[in-house]
A and B are shown apart, each in its own frame.
Chain A
Amino acid sequence: MHPAFSVLTFTVMSGAGYGLAALLILGHLLGINSLQDSSVLLTSGILALVLITLGLLCSMGHLANPKNAWRAFNRFKTSWLSREGVFAVLFYPFFLIYLIGIWTQGAEINGFFSILGLLAALIAIVTLFCTSMIYASLKTIRQWNSSLTPLNYIVLGLMSGSVVLAAIQASLSGSASSILYQLATALLVLGAIAKVIYLFWIGKPAGSTINTATGFTQASVRLLDQGHSSNGFLNNEFGYTVEANKIVCLRVLMLVVAFLIPFLLLLSGSSTLIVIAALLTVGGLLVERWLFFAEARHVVRLFHGDQRT
């Protein structure tokens, strides 16, 4: 699949944003000490809003006819994209009211604000899930059509959010909160495991082949002509191909940048390095997301000559 920059930035930024929002609310309400500081909460909250909003704006960039974007809420009944849109919008009032509560009442907010905050955290995670299901629901792309996809999206969203949260907390208070560090470290490990499982899983041959696509299952099938000599919409959208060794390099790069180095930096416990860790995680996840698309092989490719997906 063609890794459209708009979609990469959207999913990575909003993923981090929702993860950050969810964690800060939950951490705050669960009474984690270092999160009982309204400046940390407000700063993180605003950053989450910025990330989410920028992400959503990026996603608009993916639309070829954005003037109809408002219609995207219409098919909540069946469309994960529609659901994502609805929850993404729904998140704002809950989260904003929660932040207003922090702003007006400090970390000691009342029950009304707490409940709204809790709902905002829930919506953030649901939104992440909806985003992932846009991809996971596509039977046409076997690399996505799996419960590993929502797992990855949610874990990686929370993971990047946790590192950002730890970084903000450390920067503002000058000293690192060990519980946030531990949370981020744990999520980095969990994220890395989820990702590695995913990489192993997509490595197994499975799914449709050029034989099932064309209906000739008894013999080899080769494409002679795709019927148009310039690459069209289908080729551009689905025909994206990366050399195998480049894939390997990028996978290593991703694992190192998004997971390993942040993990090591976190172990150092330095509050400066953790900001770098946060930047690297988000940057690394851009590579992760790029690979998520670039390695996904749509079945239309079979009609254009691929032997299998």
Chain B
Amino acid sequence: MKLGLVIDLDTCVGCHGCATACKQWNTSGTIGPLADKDPYGREPVGSWLNRIRSYEVDDSPNSKTVHMPMSCMHCDDADCVTVCPTGASYKREEDGIVLVDQDKCMGCNLCSWACPYGARELDPDQGVMKKCTLCVDRIYDEKLPEAERQPACVLTCPTKSRVFGDFDDPESEVSKLVRERAGKALMPELGYNPVNTYLPPRNKPVQDQIDTASLKDTVKGWVNKIIAR
């Protein structure tokens, strides 16, 4: 299996729901806790596994606002794993999830340097690297209802802009979406082969205008019709 996410930039409104759902689930999850330094102070900085950035594409008046949630792309060629000296970082053979074994990380930051997507953050309290687990502690938990065996971010997304699934299965929803909507990888030139794929904003629908000949200038032009109340 090759598990990952499809993110629809056509519908993401940048609400940050996925980011806090992720924080919430994972702070008590297998990779938790996700510490917050100075939470009530001037520079509150916590470890987050998913962040949303907003961009404006093109100049006024043709510009467009795009919200871009980003978390680990679970790359096929994950240099973060290659560079890890301790073996704490690894890509699971069975499903392609890139994980950090919290007990083995020495906090050297090198994996975060190797990651082009800013997906890894050092925990300010424990000094070990945190990253998206694709909610490995949800998706296989057979005690959860089947429909809820999804990453927390996907479960919560109010515009359903996030879809989770198996990219190896050509019939999966993610595979279909990538085909139908011409899904794109970010920064493909680096050759990491990220699994997570972004669906670009769709073209605007073209709406017909009604074709009318009758132009009226005054109320006199209106003729009563017999309409029974």
B13 to chain A, nearest CB (A): 13
What is the count of residue pairs linking A and B with beta-carbon distances less than 8 angstroms? 181
Q: Could you say which of A65, A226, A227, A237 contacts B16, with CB atoms under 8 Å apart?
A: A227
CB pair A72 B85 closer than 8 Å: yes
Judged by DSSP, the binding face of B is loop
A299 neighbours in B (Cβ, 8 Å): 116, 187, 190
Q: Are B19 and A81 in contact (CB under 8 A)?
A: no
Asked if A231 lies at the interface with its beta carbon under 8 angstroms from chain B, I say: yes
Q: From B109, which residue of chain A is reached at the shortest CB distance?
A: A237
Given A72-B86, A78-B82, the answer on whether A220 and B122 have CB atoms closer than 8 Å is no
Could you tell me if A138 and B82 are in contact, using CB atoms closer than 8 angstroms? no
A247: min CB distance to chain B, Å: 21
A221 to B68: give the CA distance in the assembly, Å. 12
Query: Using a CB–CB distance below 8 Å, which chain A residues touch chain B?
Result: 1, 62-69, 71-75, 78-82, 85, 134, 137-141, 208, 212-216, 219-228, 230-234, 237-238, 298-300, 302-304
- How many chain B residues sit at the interface, stated as a range, is 35 or more
7 chain-A/chain-B pairs, Cβ below 8 angstroms: A65-B128, A71-B85, A74-B87, A134-B83, A140-B113, A298-B113, A300-B118
**Segment with Cβ contacts to A, from B48-56, B167-175, B214-222:** B48-56
Contact A64 B128 (CB under 8 A): yes
Give Cα distance in the complex from A66 to B112, angstroms: 17
Residue from the list B55, B106, B112, B189 in contact with A68, Cβ < 8 A: B106
For B113, the chain A residues whose CB sits under 8 A away are: 1, 138, 140-141, 237, 298
Interface 9-mer from B58-66, B141-149, B151-159, B205-213: B58-66
Q: How far is the CA of A230 from the CA of B41 in the complex (A)?
A: 10
Residues of A within 8 A of B187 (CB): 208, 212-213, 299, 302
- 10 nearest A-B residue pairs (beta carbon): A64-B107, A64-B127, A82-B85, A65-B107, A71-B86, A219-B58, A68-B106, A72-B85, A65-B127, A81-B85
Cβ–Cβ contact A71 & B87, under 8 A: yes
Q: Which residue, A63, A220, A227, A299, has most C-beta atoms of chain B within 10 A? A: A227
Q: How far apart are the CA atoms of A288 and B85 in the complex, in Å? A: 26
Cα-based distance from A238 to B139 in the complex (angstroms): 32
B54 and A68 within 8 A (CB): no
**Pick from A75, A212, A222, A231: contact of B189, CB under 8 Å:** A212
Measured CA separation A137–B85 after assembly (Å)? 14
Chain B residue at minimum C-beta to C-beta distance from A234? B118
Tell me the nearest residue of chain B to A2, going by C-beta.
Answer: B109
Q: How far is the CA of A303 from the CA of B86 in the complex (A)?
A: 28
Docked Cα-Cα span, A302 to B128, in Å, equals 25
Using an 8 Å CB-CB cutoff, how does the interface string of B60-86 with A read, 1 for contact, 0 for none?
001001101010000000010111111
Contact check, A137 vs B117: say whether CB atoms are below 8 A apart. Answer: no
